[in-house]
Amino acid sequence: MDYQGMVIRPPSEAFSIILQVTLGCSHNACTFCGTYREKPFAVKPWAQIEADIDFAGKYCQRQHTLFLADGDVLALPHADLVRLLESIRLNVPWVRRVSSYASSRNIAAKTDEELCQYRELGLQRLYLGLESGHNPTLKAIAKGVDAAAMVEAARRIALADMALSVSCVLGIAGKEQSQAHALATAEVLNRMQPQYIGVLTLMLLENTPLYRLYKDGRFILPSQTKLLLELRTMVEHLDLPRCLFSANHSSNYLSLNGRLPKDRDEFLARIDEAIAGTTPLRSEYQRAL
């Protein structure tokens, strides 16, 4: 398989075939994200994509899920996405689920009929980075869209019968807006109604604008206790009929994994224990992206 530069995938895709179709991210402006700073957005040559699909067909027969990398595969024109999904179905027929990152902008650029066609061809799960439901924070981190656009993208993903996994980031609003961010994020997640929620904790990367603001004293990272309080506020205010909730990413100080609303009380009790200092937390040197 041909991999160029850093290739990332969601934790839940750890055992998937990783097929790199695009390089980087077409937006690539979020102030906290350093993943693709040195990798301009591009679509890989079709010959290379086909060669990688052929490789998967020969050597990845024990893997039954496939993830499309890098961060922006849905930026492809409709005809190219159809060609890609048809090739996967033809050459790796045992794959039962294809997944990809998505952005609200790329979802907005597709018609309902196009999204439904992708679902019919095997694209069953999309990962959407909400980061925050707090519009001032979304503007500050240069996300490029507001919360309403995220909610609309979620609505159209559901209409296409695709599963939706949404990620949000503790600490992304800084110290002063910490609780406003947590509450607004829970409210927007309730409107999005995702099947999966993944919570990460902000880690400041030296190649990002947000890190430079931090070094200049213009961004103050919330304390560990405030980060736990953000997590508590989110969990307390989420109102979802059935959702797999994960805060087990290695960036988090406290690991949670379970279902809402069933495990809410257990989550809150564990967070309260962490705030009180009676349960161990992940140390700084153990945290990673």
- Under the banding of pLDDT at 50, 70 and 90, the label for residue 289 is confident
Question: Residue 156 has what pLDDT?
Answer: 98
Quote the distance between the C-alpha of residue 175 and its chain's center.
23
- Chain segment 71-98, per-residue pLDDT in tens: 889 999 999 999 999 999 999 999 999 9
- Chain segment 9-20, per-residue pLDDT in tens: 998 999 999 999
CA separation for the pair 29, 143 (Å, rounded): 7
Q: Which two tokens stand for residue 204?
A: 């400041």
Give the start-to-end residue ranges of the domains of the chain. Answer: 11-286
Question: Residue 286 has what pLDDT?
Answer: 87
CATH class of 11-286: alpha beta
CA separation for the pair 128, 167 (Å, rounded): 6
- Chain segment 177-192, per-residue pLDDT in tens: 999 999 999 999 999 9
Question: In whole angstroms, how far apart are CA 44 and each of 50, 76, 185?
Answer: 10, 11, 35
Question: Residue 24 has what pLDDT?
Answer: 92
